[in-house]
Chain A
């Protein structure tokens, strides 16, 4: 395969997003060639500076001779299905770089299969020869966590002064982090955010490090970070992405995590990741099939019954499923 042009790649990505069978056919051909790129998920609360950090990491990676693709995922409006995708504003100096490909994506709602299309787009960018693929998502919901989980290395970005976001991170995203970054570290409260993250890490990981041990060097890595079950020590790093401060340590940590994966831990992770990916694809297919087979009138009637509190939502879902099974009993297996 010759390297696809950016135009070809861009159109393939559109096809993947739209579930175009032709795109999936191409992707199947490309799948065997993928597996060389390092897929890095970057997730965190709105306002934590993810896009700026990704842009800074990209500039640095470019200066180290790597080619970089960025997939930036933002939520679709639940009301209109539309979206404003503005992450490029923070990446303007990368637009014309031949070795950089940037794609903005809307998540297209819970039924949009965002995790599936993101995984496929990562395969396309990988097969197209990009060394490093960043998948940037707002770490706000389950869908975003799923997106991040298709990556090999996951960077969770936090910033001081975002209020309860630490709680959100504790609740879910922290567990998927391989690298933690406190961005906007020049802001008040950075130390507090660092120690909150460290404390949360110590709670959620088996071998507790020496939490809260901060030296005078403001942008130094916290010593003795906690290690996750597989022996990777999750670094907590400070950055000021707008100035590029601390970005080198993050890119180094990303590279170190890849080495760690290559030294054996990666095989198990890859197996887990693919098992997860197959499972979410199966879930998407089942849901899609169900939604196609369910009678709209019946569906609405059950929702109405829930609204009137005559029916518990669980029983409504069960009723829909039962109707599907009866349908399946009547039709012979293909």
Chain B
């Protein structure tokens, strides 16, 4: 029954809704699915500016950022989040998006650094899988040692 901190460490994911639309059902469904997959989800609610999202991601030290957007302002808001994360030294934190995003906008968003865009109807398991595969490994120096080993 050995536990390493690394093995026990849940992923921390920020789920945010940029822009002005007031529908957060999709975001909440994702949040619950990630929780049920054993992740710690920081949910910040509606009408977040890219600045607020980047500030929350920074302080919460998240492993990934998920943005749900229905307002149509994705082409300006999503790349801005990526840019702000980079400015904060969090360029390796993947940003994924969901909501109503036309197919023709996806290549541009990916070029701007959005890791993936999940359309309506994407199976939740696919999103969970994506996060598990794309979060960067933690600076894991000494991750084999437990606190107890450290004390001796």
* A291 at the binding interface (Cβ < 8 Å): yes
Write out, one digit per residue, whether chain A residues 85-98 have a CB within 8 A of any chain B CB (1) or not (0). 11011001001100
Write out, one digit per residue, whether chain A residues 133-155 have a CB within 8 A of any chain B CB (1) or not (0). 00000000000000000000000
Write out, one digit per residue, whether chain B residues 24-52 have a CB within 8 A of any chain A CB (1) or not (0). 00000001101111111111110010011
Which of chain B's residues have a CB closer than 8 A to the CB of A82? 10, 34-41
Which of chain A's residues have a CB closer than 8 A to the CB of B76? none
Interchain CB contact (< 8 A) of B5 among A7, A20, A83, A89: A20
Write out, one digit per residue, whether chain A residues 6-26 have a CB within 8 A of any chain B CB (1) or not (0). 110011011001111110100
Residues A292 and B2 in contact, CB atoms below 8 Å apart? yes
* A321 at the binding interface (Cβ < 8 Å): no
Which of chain A's residues have a CB closer than 8 A to the CB of B32? 84
Residues A89 and B41 in contact, CB atoms below 8 Å apart? no
Interface size class for chain A?
Answer: 35 or more
**Count of chain A to chain B residue pairs whose CB atoms are closer than 8 Å in the complex:** 124
Interchain CB contact (< 8 A) of B1 among A77, A85, A95, A292: A292
* A130 at the binding interface (Cβ < 8 Å): no
Residues A80 and B145 in contact, CB atoms below 8 Å apart? no
Chain A residue nearest in CB terms to B141 = A22
* B100 at the binding interface (Cβ < 8 Å): no
Give how many B residues have a beta carbon under 8 Å from the other chain's beta carbons.
48
Residues A91-114 near B (CB distance < 8 A):
92, 95-96, 101-104, 106, 108
Write the nearest CB–CB distance from A331 to chain B, whole angstroms.
13
In the complex, besides A89-B43, A288-B3, A294-B1, 4 extra interface pairs with C-beta distance below 8 angstroms are A19-B5, A82-B10, A82-B38, A102-B56
- What residues make up the interface of B, taking CB atoms closer than 8 Å to A? 1-3, 5-6, 8-10, 12, 31-32, 34-45, 48, 51-52, 55-56, 58-61, 88-90, 138-139, 141-143, 145-152
The 5 closest A-B pairs by CB, nearest first: A82-B35, A89-B45, A10-B61, A19-B5, A21-B150
